[in-house]
């Protein structure tokens, strides 16, 4: 059962990395360019994703959750470096979990680790869609991050 959730998390990491790599191929100002489509910029979306993942993984580890405050990144490179480090640590932690069905309690809620992993992945998918919307709004193309494309890339 752990392998299924590790694969889902691996997909999330792969998709985040593809988006950040794609952003690095675009003009530098795209990351910070202000828009009016829910988030102020792509940098704000990425900062939100990084902060939310910290909150969810603190819950999985049964640690005190940090406040959900969007991370600020000076550049796409800084965001990519930060995400890479934290996602590697999170992946290592998930690989050490013996029971994905274990329930953790936080803020008067209780969920299994596997349910929280699914939340992290779904949340990432949603916000990568926000980034694609912003890119299109700014006249740029997005990048394919579908789960099936991840599976094809691994084959």
Q: Is 96 exposed, middle or buried (0-12, 13-18, 19+ CB in 10 A)?
A: exposed
Going by their DSSP bridges, the two strands 103-106 and 109-112 should be labelled as antiparallel
First CA to last CA distance, the chain:
20
Rounded CA separation 98/138 (Å): 45
Nearest C-alpha neighbor of 130 from the set 13, 19, 8, 17: 19
Nearest CA to 94 out of 111, 113, 66 is that of 113
Q: What are phi and psi of 108, to 5 degrees?
A: 65, 15
Q: Do the annotations mark residue 48 as ligand-binding?
A: yes
Check the annotation: does 123 bind a ligand: yes
> Which residues participate in the annotated binding site?
48, 123, 127
> Which residues participate in the annotated binding site for a divalent metal cation?
48, 123, 127
């Amino acid at each position: 059962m752990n392998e299924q959730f590790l694969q889902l998390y691996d997909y999330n990491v792969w998709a985040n990395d593809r988006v950040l790599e794609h952003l690095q191929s675009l003009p530098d100002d795209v990351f910070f360019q202000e828009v009016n489509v829910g988030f102020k910029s792509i940098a704000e979306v990425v900062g939100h994703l990084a902060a939310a993942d910290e909150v969810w993984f603190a819950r999985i580890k049964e640690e005190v959750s940090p406040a959900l405050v969007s991370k600020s990144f000076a550049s796409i490179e800084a965001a990519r470096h930060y995400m890479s480090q934290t996602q590697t640590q999170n992946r290592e932690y998930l690989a050490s979990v013996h029971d994905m069905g274990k329930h953790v309690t936080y803020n008067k809620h209780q969920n299994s680790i596997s349910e929280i992993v699914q939340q992290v992945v779904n949340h990432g998918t949603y916000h990568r869609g926000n980034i694609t919307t912003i890119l299109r709004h700014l006249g740029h193309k997005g990048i394919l991050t579908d789960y099936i494309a991840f599976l094809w890339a691994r084959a």
